[in-house]
Structure 1
């Protein structure tokens, strides 16, 4: 009887070389300990006023939180930072999706840091009405500016607030100013109500547009153009240069149809190519010209004062609304009234009056 030779299975796995740890366990423990350690309001204020970006980010996270304890702590931080604020210029930047806002802001921000400015970008990212999530990809798209030591980028989800620019953005401006940033750029979601909110918290409003995108006088643009201090035709490069020049002429004609601004400033139109970094210096020169004029005639300070008053009233409205909806009795009654309204058992207006009567008792 012959013995057959037994061959090892082809599926046999040989022992390999054990790979070393890619992350130091000691570093992991230190990071976890640091995250568990929550700095006090005084510690945050001290770090922010020394230019600590990490402390700035932590403070903005507190502002964005709805936790009552966080809100109380955030208010202390803001109050402590107020004496160091109001030393910057605030520029709102908007435009329809696809106009190149992120590319423009990166090119503009890099230009500003190159001339000695410290730039903070507060980018409002739209939240989904279905999943309530946001991509928050602005820092990824601004890959050069995010590495600049004199720049800070903070993307925030718009949430359910007016275009995502309510109390949290307004107060984030104060913290950025206290951190030493002298130029604050606020990027809005796009075309919508958020532009009105941004206009009420900035010194200068810049509208980005495209050449050949349709009728330059269509209604969706008119409201924004009335708020704009400067219209910039982006992507004026390659075969698009001629179209950009034509669009500039058309927008100049359109702006003459609008009434004179209280600032006495005549809105201007210019072209640029953010991708090729052409015309960016002209944009800044125009903004400087605006600030020189409005500071000389007193409009700059008057506008800031009016904005403070506006946000006082907006904050009261916001707090009343939150207090109403978070009232335990109102929560129960609201659900009952919703069903009654859906079943046509009561009108929406009568139901609202009933709820408000209960609330103010």
Structure 2
């Protein structure tokens, strides 16, 4: 059995910036054991006053867009500017084996060796939205440890990855130029949530195509309804290889933060995210409590037999369970 400390010992270590205790606390938060979860919540309660002061940036994009390469270049720039950086990298989990590679530290080799950076790979598990189930808790623990900027790298663009928008202050969507008909391939739901688009790999022979894609996306965004925040999402180009456009992206993020603070949107967004977190946890707990009822697995198996046989419709089966 693993040795566990008292909540105040984890909390004191995290507030001192002890990375070992930070990692152990995150492991507790990610655990499915009820006792680990209770301990993690006790730790979070103690460090809560030290949270909420970082800039939270979500980064997503189509497969092959170079998210990890971009984050290494972007993160290195932030550290050069004097920021302390935490990267929460979510790895996809195999639906067949349940395994996850957790290879982001190898893809961000330079950044992972920098003492001002902390990289925490986590498996996405079976949670939707491209983020791990306990990414919110991990983010708060990193904030309490004194990290100024939290980057959340998501699994990749999908229909439900808009969940990341409920975590961050700024949502950056990375796109590729010259990868087919970009406008046809856009995920409208994610496009509408993005605070900015960045066309990556804008260097060498691809510079011209990146500029064309920038114009196409800018024109396409004009067709979307206003966001209501007073911030029209800009489209930028950048290169992780040459560093071009990286500083401009950070300047843009800071301008966005300043505007959101001035018009009150920042606080409203954070408050909305707290409510989203509450509702997600409530659904999760209700779901777990429902399936953990005595005899539920046997009852489900019996109903599934009837559904497969075609003698019972799924909607009717659900109603049977709810009535019972």
1:286 alignment counterpart: 252
2:216 alignment counterpart: 250
In 1, distance between residues paired with 2:153 and 2:23?
18
Deviation at 1:242, TM superposition (A): 0.8
2:4 alignment counterpart: 38
SS at match of 1:232: strand
In 1, distance between residues paired with 2:170 and 2:304?
43
Once the two structures are superposed, the pairs formed by residues 1-361 of structure 1 within 5 Å of their partners are 36-165=2-131, 167-218=133-184, 220-358=186-324
Deviation at 1:135, TM superposition (A): 0.9
Instruction: Answer whether contact 2:90 2:132 (CA < 8 A) is retained.
Output: no
Instruction: Answer whether contact 2:125 2:133 (CA < 8 A) is retained.
Output: no
Unaligned runs of 5+ in 1: 1-34
In 1, distance between residues paired with 2:145 and 2:48?
11
Q: Count residues in correspondence.
A: 324
In 1, distance between residues paired with 2:202 and 2:73?
14
In 1, distance between residues paired with 2:306 and 2:9?
51
TM-score if structure 2 supplies the norm length?
Answer: 0.97
In 2, distance between residues paired with 1:77 and 1:157?
22
Structure showing greater radius of gyration is 1
Instruction: Answer whether contact 1:78 1:171 (CA < 8 A) is retained.
Output: yes
Deviation at 1:164, TM superposition (A): 4.8
TM-score if structure 1 supplies the norm length?
Answer: 0.87
Unaligned runs of 5+ in 2: none
Instruction: Answer whether contact 2:130 2:156 (CA < 8 A) is retained.
Output: no
Deviation at 1:223, TM superposition (A): 2.0
Instruction: Answer whether contact 1:157 1:164 (CA < 8 A) is retained.
Output: no
Instruction: Answer whether contact 2:69 2:240 (CA < 8 A) is retained.
Output: yes
Deviations 1:38-80 (A, max 9, x none): 2222211111111111111111111111111111111111111
Deviations 1:215-258 (A, max 9, x none): 23225432221111111010011111111111111111111111
RMSD: 1.4
SS at match of 2:182: coil
In 2, distance between residues paired with 1:328 and 1:128?
30
SS at match of 2:226: coil
In 2, distance between residues paired with 1:126 and 1:315?
21
